Structure 1
């Protein structure tokens, strides 16, 4: 998971698997809370899933600022780049 595109595809697959979403609904512009109907409990599950995939945890404070799938991709990208 190095490029933003790789991160997006992995994230989309996770959202489809974890929350039974239609893959077509998951775009970089999709709002996690309004478009995809992810609640705070789901967000914690998503953070945990990202940690298992990357070995790194996104800080809860940083995750509070994400609104779209693209925001999550950027947060994960920064996380893996900082570790590289």
Structure 2
């Protein structure tokens, strides 16, 4: 899957499922601060990511995510590993 498609799908579910303002999403923005998610939200995010991309992100994966760019790259890496 192309990275642009990953970004589009991810941004769409962040806006629709997690009520993030699309204007707040930027590649270099802090992922955790921008989203303000609690631990239950992360569980929901794992489910949404799996349903949209067919891959699972675990706690270790989220620990590496600082920016939205990191988030997209992590999803892209998981998709590549699965292929």
Q: TM-score, normalised by structure 2?
A: 0.85
* C-alpha RMSD over aligned residues: 1.4
Compute the displacement of 1:30 (Å).
2.0
SS in 1 for 2:34: coil
Ranges of 4+ aligned residues in structure 1 off by more than 3 Å: none
- Residue 53 of structure 2 aligns with which residue? 54
- Residue 34 of structure 2 aligns with which residue? 35
- Residue 10 of structure 1 aligns with which residue? 9
Compute the displacement of 1:73 (Å).
0.5
In structure 1, how many angstroms separate the alpha carbons of the residues matched to 2:57 and 2:34? 22
Number of residue equivalences: 83
SS in 1 for 2:35: coil
5+ long unaligned stretches in structure 2: none
- Residue 69 of structure 1 aligns with which residue? 68
C-alpha contact (below 8 Å) 1:30/1:36 kept by paired residues? no
Compute the displacement of 1:35 (Å).
2.4
Compute the displacement of 1:16 (Å).
0.3
SS in 1 for 2:8: helix
Q: TM-score, normalised by structure 1?
A: 0.84
5+ long unaligned stretches in structure 1: none
SS in 2 for 1:29: coil
